[in-house]
Chains A and B, each alone.
Chain A
Amino acid sequence: QQPVQSPQAVILREGEDAVINCSSSKALYSVHWYRQKHGEAPVFLMILLKGGEQKGHDKISASFNEKKQQSSLYLTASQLSYSGTYFCGTEGPGGSQGNLIFGKGTKLSVKP
């Protein structure tokens, strides 16, 4: 089943923060996060493996709550370059089997 992302869209001013959530109805082995700009291919941001770790990538970080089958992506002090559609992808529960399933995406618009 597709993971569920929320919100569907968010508009920010430069410097504001945002949180994008991803939840699954099944146990997860891993959660991926990607960003896609208009007309381009998705680009990998980070992966979180089961174990509840939190990762950071510049001012973008993410957490993974294995028990709740949820992940959140945190964007702090947003920049214009953060605009795009963010997708979470999930694998599980039996470990990585090459079948990464994506949510429908969250469109993020950062305004000056």
Chain B
Amino acid sequence: NAGVTQTPKFQVLKTGQSMTLQCAQDMNHEYMSWYRQDPGMGLRLIHYSVGAGITDQGEVPNGYNVSRSTTEDFPLRLLSAAPSQTSVYFCASSPLGGAYGYTFGSGTRLTVV
């Protein structure tokens, strides 16, 4: 039981490049979310999903795209990377219903130069 697995752990991108951050969970959780963490800003919600085929925007969705074709996977796509997207990205998952905590992945540290 690996929990929530994020890849890669570190990434450096050039401005304008695109890439996909991977997130997979093996706990059969319906809820999955992407957060970014910047110093002094806490964890800000980018996109979230309540099940396969269903996604919605969070607090800071601009410049990011998501899809959820399976319960297990929830990739985050950066369409055209900008320096402002330099951050630590966390994926999290939780069972359906709202009475459970979220399990976080170990994070991806992204630098855009």
Using a CB–CB distance below 8 Å, which chain A residues touch chain B? 2, 29-30, 32, 34, 40-47, 49, 87, 89, 91, 95-105
> Knowing A29-B98, A99-B56, A99-B58 touch, does A87 contact B43 (C-beta < 8 A)?
yes
Bound CA span A99–B94, Å: 11
Q: Is the CB of B59 within 8 A of A32?
A: no
6 A-B pairs closest in CB distance: A96-B98, A44-B101, A104-B42, A41-B104, A102-B43, A98-B50
Q: Is the CB of B40 within 8 A of A32?
A: no
Using a CB–CB distance below 8 Å, which chain B residues touch chain A? 30-31, 33, 35, 40-45, 48-50, 56, 58-59, 90, 92, 94, 97-107
Determine the chain B residues whose CB is within 8 A of the CB of A104 once the complex forms: 40-42
Bound CA span A95–B29, Å: 18
Q: Is the CB of A47 within 8 A of B42?
A: no
Bound CA span A97–B40, Å: 26
Please name 18 further chain A to chain B contacts, defined as beta carbons within 8 Å, in addition to the given A2-B42, A101-B45, A101-B59, sorted by A numbering.
A34-B101, A41-B105, A41-B107, A42-B43, A44-B102, A44-B103, A46-B101, A89-B43, A97-B50, A97-B98, A98-B30, A98-B33, A98-B49, A98-B56, A100-B48, A102-B44, A102-B45, A105-B42
Q: Is the CB of A32 within 8 A of B48?
A: no
Bound CA span A46–B48, Å: 21
> Knowing A98-B50, A99-B56, A100-B33 touch, does A42 contact B104 (C-beta < 8 A)?
yes
Q: Is the CB of A32 within 8 A of B42?
A: no
Bound CA span A41–B35, Å: 11
Q: Is the CB of A98 within 8 A of B48?
A: yes
> Knowing A99-B56, A102-B43, A105-B42 touch, does A43 contact B104 (C-beta < 8 A)?
yes
Q: Is the CB of A30 within 8 A of B43?
A: no
Determine the chain A residues whose CB is within 8 A of the CB of B98 once the complex forms: 29-30, 49, 91, 95-97
Q: Is the CB of A102 within 8 A of B99?
A: no
Q: Is the CB of B100 within 8 A of A47?
A: yes
Q: Is the CB of B107 within 8 A of A99?
A: no
Determine the chain B residues whose CB is within 8 A of the CB of A2 once the complex forms: 42, 59
